[in-house]
Every structure is written in structure tokens, then in C-alpha cells.
Amino acid sequence: MTPWIAMPPPPSLNECAWLGCGHVAQVEVFITVPGSSRRVGSVGRFCVGHAVIRGIQAQTRHHGQLWYCPARPQARHHIQAASN
């Protein structure tokens, strides 16, 4: 029998989305997905180091363009407006 293992709670918007990081999320990563009806998608909010890693992983998988923006609610609006 496998013992029950508690999963950590999901990070808040102010915390890096990299599992177990715990640093402040300073950057939100966005990517375009060629052939998708959505022009720009959010990869997530991360600390600077994990934002670079996750951005490269997303670009390798989706072959889209990346944007790195300060992790603020306004950043999402500006990126989506710029992509239209």
C-alpha cells in the first residue's frame, strides 16, 4: 500500500510556479502557438531563473515567439493587445 503523500498547495500569483521554488514570481512568460486560435498564451509566472528555463521549454515544444513581462496584472493586457 502506498502511503498518502500531501501535495503542496498551488503557488499564489506572487510565488514562482516552479514546484518547490518558493521565490517571488517576478516574470510572466507568454508564447504564441502557431496554428492556435488564441494568439498569445501565458506559460506562467516564475522567478527570473525559472522563467528562462520554462520559456525555452515552451518555445522548444510550440515553436512560437516568447515574451517576458513583469508579473503584474497589467502585463497580460499589454501583451494581448500588442499581439492583435
Query: Residue ranges of the domains in the chain?
Result: 27-83
Instruction: Tell me which DSSP letter residue 22 carries.
Output: -
Residue 31 β-bridge partners? 41, 66
DSSP element (H, E) containing 29: strand 27-31
Per DSSP, the residues of 1-15 read: -PPP-PPPPPPPTTB
> What is residue 14's predicted lDDT score, i.e. its pLDDT?
83
> What is residue 51's predicted lDDT score, i.e. its pLDDT?
95
> What is residue 1's predicted lDDT score, i.e. its pLDDT?
46
- Low-confidence spans in the chain with pLDDT less than 50: 1-2
> What is residue 41's predicted lDDT score, i.e. its pLDDT?
85
The number of beta carbons lying within 10 Å of the beta carbon of residue 37 is 5
Entry pTM: 0.68
